Amino acid sequence: MGNKILDIKNLKRVFKMGSEIVHALKGISFIVEEGEFVTIMGSSGSGKTTLLNIIGCLDKPTDGDYLLDGVNVKLLSRNELAGLRNNKIGFVFQSYNLLARTSALENVELPLMYNSKISSKVREEKAKQALHAVRLDDRIDHLPSQLSGGQQQRLAIARALVNEPVMILADEATGNLDTKTSYEIMSLLQELNQQQKKTIVFVTHEPDIASFSSRTITLKDGKVIKDTKNENVRSAKEELAALPVSDYNS
């Protein structure tokens, strides 16, 4: 068995709203091993965001355990949790979350600023490498507003990669993109998963997007109702090549 990146054991999350108690997660358990590409699906209100916030160390469970790369997050202080998050996880969001007045290069350098041991020269080298991995070498001086939606998401992926995290956590990362651009992003993620062995956890409500991953975990009412390996993983690169030329060049 490979290294367990996520080890989630009977996770529960309860929200108290005045006298009302909401059981958002009702005992979730699963393991994600290094190198997996997992999608988390489920309808609105099923608990995806609540789970993602816990996986991303932005929130703590009410009950149960969560081990991120072997570390039990329950035992960490706020500062330790922030450190773990910065070192282990690269986030990619639907809305890109880029700094508007800052160049592509500086946006990617940002996660490295928290580490005072990294010199500005090394920081720039690492950022350029990450930008190369997402094929944005020729856009390093551009502002986010000077990039297309797909390029902005590739920039966000470069920023997620620059710390060499053990896992990329994506929240509806293709939600704002058209089909062709979504497939380009999925093709890039498949490449990072297959060639660089990056573990990817991708939240989506689109089955079409989930079919590019190798495993799908489905939530309903705060529980896992399905956890299936995808035997016929689609290749986003092939799907892109098969798009009509007019679509592809648009």
Ligand X SMILES: Nc1ncnc2c1ncn2[C@@H]1O[C@H](COP(=O)(O)OP(=O)(O)OP(=O)(O)O)[C@@H](O)[C@H]1O
- Backbone phi, psi, residue 31, to 5°: -120, 140
Q: Which residue, 158 or 203, is less far from ligand X as judged by CB? A: 203
Q: Which residues bind ligand X (CB under 6 A)?
A: 15, 17, 22, 24, 42, 44-50
Spatial separation of the C-alpha atoms in residues 125 and 105, rounded to whole Å: 10
Name the minimum Å distance from CB 235 to ligand X.
27
Q: Which residue, 51 or 130, is less far from ligand X as judged by CB? A: 51
Q: Which residue, 47 or 111, is less far from ligand X as judged by CB? A: 47
Name the minimum Å distance from CB 94 to ligand X.
10
- The answer to whether the beta carbons of residues 9 and 65 sit under 8 Å apart is yes
Name the minimum Å distance from CB 45 to ligand X.
4
Where helices occur in the chain by DSSP H, the ranges are 48-55, 78-88, 104-109, 120-133, 149-161, 179-195, 207-210, 236-242, 245-249
**Dihedral over Cα of 172, 176, 181, 185: its sign:** negative
- The answer to whether the beta carbons of residues 213 and 32 sit under 8 Å apart is no
- The answer to whether the beta carbons of residues 68 and 76 sit under 8 Å apart is no
Q: Which residue, 171 or 239, is less far from ligand X as judged by CB? A: 171
Q: Which residue, 206 or 238, is less far from ligand X as judged by CB? A: 206
Spatial separation of the C-alpha atoms in residues 90 and 242, rounded to whole Å: 31
Name the minimum Å distance from CB 163 to ligand X.
26
Name the minimum Å distance from CB 85 to ligand X.
19
